[in-house]
Structure 1
Amino acid sequence: MRWDHLFDDLAGQLEHELHAEELDLQQEEERLRLGRLELRGRLAVLLREREPERRILILRTHDGALSRVRLRSLGRDWLAGDLVDLSAAQVVVPLRAVESLVLDVEQAQRTLEPTAARDDLSARLGLSFLLRDLCRRRTPLTVQTAVGDLHGTVDRVGRDHLDLAVHDRDTPRRATAVQQVRLVPFDQVLLVRL
């Protein structure tokens, strides 16, 4: 009878230790997973939200400017969305130009959720690809840098810079309207407003 009690006690202790070890292992795996999270991955979770209002975030660029953006798409090194405060304005922001993102507590918690890795095409498209598309379309835009805003049309896109034909906002890009051509390194671009 005493042996049965002793064996039951030992079995209970062993089960408790195994359960505690399993919990420690799960906690360590979660810490490792959180340590591997990247900004782009956390934004991808927000992008999957069905309700557009749940994709709104406030971003602050390195010049201190704050913008309320409804996230629409995400590339390898950029995000795109609609400016909430301005009607019909769309922006492209290089991720390296983001000083910080302001999320509410619920959004921040949701971005920590584990998600299955998806191999979507946009995850491989860099900023230069997007700017080349805007160049082909001859889209007038405003390039925001730390020094100021430049309005014009992208003429060419190199590996690490763009050629911007600067002209007045209300005139189309014509040779006679171009005041100057600015070569803008990508690392100086904080935001592109369409």
Structure 2
Amino acid sequence: MRWDDLFADLDARLAHARRMEQESEVADRWAADVASVDLLGRLLATDGELSVQLSDGSWVSGRTRAAGPGWVLLVAGSPVRRQVLVPTAAVCALRGLARNSVPPGAVTARRTLALALRALSSASVGVLVRTRAGEVRGRLDRVGADHVDVVVPAEGHRAVLTVPFASLLNVTELG
């Protein structure tokens, strides 16, 4: 009978060791999964109200409408709805971000900040461009790889202000 007890005890110890090893492996895989999640994936999963603090300390809030590498588009305001394009490089903090994530597809991965700005430019709508140094109202014109030209209304001539992407805080459609 003592042999049976001894083998039962050994079996229990081995089962416990296997269970502990399995739990450790699950925890390691979970940590690796969380570590691989990027901001874009969480922005794509966000469905509710999102508040974004910009590098100048101001906050922009709205529902996430679209996102791509380096930007998020929020629909803000009520009853007047305005679209606000925010470069993620200007973001210091987010409130309301989804805990889960959605992996970006091939199309989403190609929707860069320049592409989003080009879409606004081709719409020829008035915009408020906020930079780290101030703001300007106008219309987006040419969009380069790392800068955008803003046509600013001026008396009798066309004034163009070139804004590097690195200084953008947000671009709000004035409609």
- Normalization by structure 2: what TM-score? 0.90
Runs of at least 5 residues in structure 1 that lack an aligned partner in the other structure:
50-54, 169-174
Q: In structure 1, what residue type is equivalent to 2:37?
A: L
Q: Deviations over 1:52-79 (max 9, x none)?
A: xxx2011111011111121111112110
Once structures 1 and 2 are overlaid, which stretch shifts more, 29-38 or 125-134? 29-38
Q: Deviations over 1:50-106 (max 9, x none)?
A: xxxxx2011111011111121111112110011136721110001111111023xxx
- Distance verdict in 2 for CA 1:176–1:137, change over 3 Å: farther
Task: Provide the residue aligned with 1:61 in structure 2.
Answer: 54
Question: Does the 8 A contact of 1:68 with 1:85 survive in 2?
Answer: no
Task: Give distance in 1, aligned partners of 2:136 and 2:38.
Answer: 31
* Partner residue of 1:184 out of 151, 158, 163: 163
Question: Does the 8 A contact of 1:163 with 1:184 survive in 2?
Answer: yes
Task: Give distance in 1, aligned partners of 2:15 and 2:23.
Answer: 12
Tell me the number of residue pairs that the alignment of Structure 1 and Structure 2 aligns: 173
What secondary structure does 1:190 align onto? strand
What secondary structure does 2:74 align onto? strand
Q: Deviations over 1:105-160 (max 9, x none)?
A: xx5xx51x365x35251232101111112222212111111111111011211111
Runs of at least 5 residues in structure 2 that lack an aligned partner in the other structure:
none
Task: Provide the residue aligned with 1:102 in structure 2.
Answer: 95
* Partner residue of 2:83 out of 90, 93, 99: 90
Question: Does the 8 A contact of 2:61 with 2:74 survive in 1?
Answer: no
Task: Give distance in 2, aligned partners of 1:137 and 1:44.
Answer: 24
Task: Provide the residue aligned with 1:32 in structure 2.
Answer: 32
Task: Give distance in 2, aligned partners of 1:176 and 1:138.
Answer: 20
- Normalization by structure 1: what TM-score? 0.81
- The ranges of structure 1 where at least 4 consecutive aligned residues each deviate by more than 6 angstroms after the TM superposition are none
- Distance verdict in 2 for CA 1:17–1:102, change over 3 Å: same
